[in-house]
């Protein structure tokens, strides 16, 4: 094959790949949920779409590695308390996590007897009922406008390992993340030095999780044809993430 013909055939493929890369860097990118730490909001096997432009762009915005090292964000927009956020793990930026934003810069966060306190104020929650060995609650996080922002969470008990903590003071340009499955989440309650998440720097935010694309039970294999009817959670397809 001569070079001119090879170039003509390869060019459309290169353009298509380039467009995909631009879209996944600037607009949106899919992420697979690998663990139950965000149940009931996100289930293991959910595939979500993250809005890359929601908070602007950092050195971690490129889906195939990192952009040239720089501090801060381009077109920076502040995240809101209660957002479900995809971010790079501070102690291992090659690893991607998804958690809920609980603490903003300057906040004081504490757990007492399984209850969340923000800046010394108890965060309201109401019990909904039992949920797979735990209890389902609706928690109302404080918002700037005073209206509050509701989301569901699960507690196995109010006396678990991280249900009683000291006060975490969130540094400037950092955020405090927690999982909605409160007793089964490796999050900002555990310091990075102890194998946890710790405070998440502004630069590590990648995307806001806005909507599910699809959801499937990871315990059902592709060759387990007889169980395909139960594998796909059709009611979660294209569902909005609260």
Q: pTM for this structure? A: 0.83
Span 178-237, pLDDT tens digits: 999 999 999 999 999 999 999 999 999 999 999 999 998 877 665 565 555 668 888 999
CATH homologous superfamily of 28-236: Umud Fragment, subunit A (2.10.109.10)
Dmax (CA) for the chain in angstroms is: 73
Q: How far apart are CA 210 and CA 239, in angstroms?
A: 9
Closest CA to 177 of 200, 151, 201, 155: 200
Cβ contact 105:188 at 8 Å? no
Closest CA relative to residue 173, chosen from 79, 86, 82: 79
> For residues 217 and 128, which has the higher predicted lDDT (pLDDT)?
128
Residue scoring higher pLDDT (70 or 29): 29
Other CB atoms within a 10 A radius of the CB of residue 240 amount to 7
Torsion sign (Cα): 148, 150, 153, 157: positive
In this predicted structure, the answer to whether residue 67 has a pLDDT above a threshold of 60 is no
Q: Where are the domains of the chain?
A: 28-236
The alpha helices in the chain, defined as continuous H runs, are 3-26, 228-231
At 229 the pLDDT is: 64
The pLDDT assigned to 224 comes to 63
Q: How far is Cα 236 from Cα 216, in angstroms, rounded to an integer? A: 9
DSSP string, 17-36: HHHHHHHHHHTEEEEE--SS
Which residues carry out catalysis? 37, 99
User: 9 or 166: which carries more pLDDT confidence?
Assistant: 166
């Amino acid at each position: 094959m001569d070079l001119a013909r090879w170039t003509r055939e390869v060019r459309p493929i290169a353009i298509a790949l380039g467009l995909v890369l631009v879209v996944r860097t600037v607009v949106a990118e899919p992420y697979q949920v690998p663990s139950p730490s965000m149940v009931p909001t996100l289930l293991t096997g959910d595939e979500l779409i993250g809005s890359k432009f929601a908070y602007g762009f950092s050195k971690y915005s490129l889906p195939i590695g990192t952009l040239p090292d720089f501090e801060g964000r381009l077109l920076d927009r502040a995240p809101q308390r209660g957002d479900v956020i995809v971010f790079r793990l501070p102690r291992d930026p090659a690893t991607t996590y998804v958690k809920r934003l609980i603490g903003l810069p300057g906040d004081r966060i504490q757990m007492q007897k399984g209850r969340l306190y923000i800046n010394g104020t108890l965060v309201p929650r109401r019990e909904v009922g039992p949920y797979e060995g735990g209890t389902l609650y609706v928690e109302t996080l404080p918002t700037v406008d005073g209206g509050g922002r509701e989301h569901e969470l699960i507690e196995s008990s109010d006396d678990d390992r991280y249900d009683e903590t000291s006060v975490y003071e969130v540094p400037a340009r950092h955020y405090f993340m927690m999982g909605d499955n409160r007793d089964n989440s490796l999050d900002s309650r555990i310091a990075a030095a102890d194998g946890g998440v710790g405070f998440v720097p502004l630069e590590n935010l990648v995307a806001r999780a806005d909507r599910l694309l699809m959801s499937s039970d990871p315990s059902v294999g592709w060759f387990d044809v007889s169980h395909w009817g139960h594998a796909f959670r059709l009611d979660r397809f294209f569902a909005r993430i609260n």
